[in-house]
Amino acid sequence: MGSERELAFIAVHRESYPRVYRFVRRRVESAEVAEELAADVFRVVWQKWDDRPRTDSAWLFTVARNLIGNAYRSRDRLLALQEKLRSAAEPRSGTESEDLVVQDVMAALRENERDILQLAYWDELSMAEIAGVLGCSESAARVRLHRARAAFRKRMPAAAGSITQKMEA
C-alpha cells in the first residue's frame, strides 16, 4: 500500500483529472496533447506536494493554463524554425516540390517519429547508434523506426510514391 502522501495524491488525481483534462482539451488541438498536458499538471502537483498541498481547482487550472501557454510557445517556435528552414533549404534530392512534400509530411509526424527518421536518414546512424541515442534496445529501435516509416508512408501523398520507395531501400 502507498504512503499517506501517495494515497492523498491518488484521490486528488482521481477527483480532479477529468475536469483538468476537459479544461485543457478545449484549448489545444488534439486529445493526445491534452492528455500530455493534463498529466503534466499532476506532475507539477506531485512535485510541489508538501505538508499543506494546494489541490483547489483554481490552482490546478492556473497550472494547466501556464503549461498550455508553454506548449503554444514551443509549437510556435518549432513552426517558425520549420518555416525558416524551409525557406532556406536547398533541394538535396529530387525536385524542390518533392523536398517540400517531405518537409510537410515530416512536420505532420509526431516528434518521436520525426526524430527517429532523422536519426536514420539525415544523420545516417546505425541501428545500434539509434538505440543508444534513444536509450532503448536495438529491437525496440527497429520497431520504432518501422512504425515511423509506416506513419510517414500513411501521410505521404500517393503522387510522391517514389520518395517512400527510396526510404524502403
Task: Pick 10 or 1 by higher pLDDT.
Answer: 10
> Please, which residues have CB within 8 angstroms of residue 27's CB and are 6 or more apart in sequence?
68
pLDDT tens per residue across span 88-105? 655 455 555 666 788 888
CA triple 122-132-167, angle to 5 deg:
30
| DSSP codes of every residue in 23-82 | HHHTTSS-HHHHHHHHHHHHHHHHHH--SS----HHHHHHHHHHHHHHHHHHHHHHHHHH
Q: Which pLDDT score is estimated for 57? A: 85
Mean pLDDT across the stretch 39-54?
86
Tens digits of residue pLDDT in 8-41: 889 989 999 999 999 999 999 899 999 999 999 9
Please, how many CA atoms are within 13 Å of residue 108, restricted to the half-sphere of its CB? Answer: 14
CA pair distance 53, 59, nearest whole angstrom = 11
DSSP annotation of 125: -
| All cell numbers assigned to 113 | 517519429
pLDDT in tens, 132-164: 888 899 999 999 999 999 999 988 876 455 555
